[in-house]
Each structure stands twice: as C-alpha cells, then as structure tokens.
Amino acid sequence: MSEESHSDTGTTQSSIATTYADAVVVPTRHVTNVNITATVAEITMTLGQLHSLIDPKTRTLLPPVKTEWFQSLALNPIVAKQMYLGLGRALEFYERQFGKIPEDPSFRLTPDDELLPGRPAV
C-alpha cells in the first residue's frame, strides 16, 4: 500500500487499492443502508453501514447503535441505468440460485434465522 504525504495539511493519505500485476485488490465494505437522490444531471447514492449489537443472553438484535455513512456515488443517468440493469440481472440470478429475497423493509435477521431457504443460519 502506498502513502502520500500532504505537507500543506499535515496529513498522510493511504491508497485504497493494492496492485498485483494485472489485478487490483479493492477493500470491501458491507452496505446496510442506501440513500438515493436524483437531479436532472445525476443520481446520487450515499452508502452506509448500520452498527448494531446482539444481546448475548437472548440472542436478539438490540436497537441500532448508528449508521455510518461512508461513501457517496454520483452517477450520470447512463451509468445509473447500466447499474440498474446489471443489478437486476444479478438479483434474478441470485433468486434462481438461492430463493426469493424478502422485500419487507422491517425484515431483520436474528442469529437463529435463515435468510433464504438452503442457506446456512447466520
């Protein structure tokens, strides 16, 4: 990983990806929250991760601690449409392989639940 110093701000910035020959390894962040807005020029997706805890005695989810908003993506309408079509194909494939994905926004997993038939419990 390379680092870049900025003398004017006194900060050091680490590169996000590490290059190995022809491959680039990019860190993965899990997204649990998405906020989407649109203007005539772009569609913006702000990505976040909900941080919550599991009660060790009851093995139930405690109320959410907080959402960490960590990335905002601004897409022109053409790229947004390509993403929409690509995600649609990926979701169709996923549901053929693993079963229907719950659509209820209040659906939450507990440690003993199975998200989809045929998948191991979380």
The ranges assigned to domains in the chain are 3-98
Beta bridge partners of residue 18, listed in sequence order: 25
Cβ neighbours of residue 112 under 8 Å, at least 6 residues apart? Answer: 59, 121
Per-residue model confidence as pLDDT tens digits over 78-119: 999 999 999 999 999 999 998 888 888 777 666 555 554 555
Indicate yes or no: pTM above 0.95. no
CA–CA distance from 106 to each of 18, 79, 102, 109 (Å)?
Answer: 38, 30, 10, 10
CA distance 118 to 100: 11
CA distance 13 to 3: 6
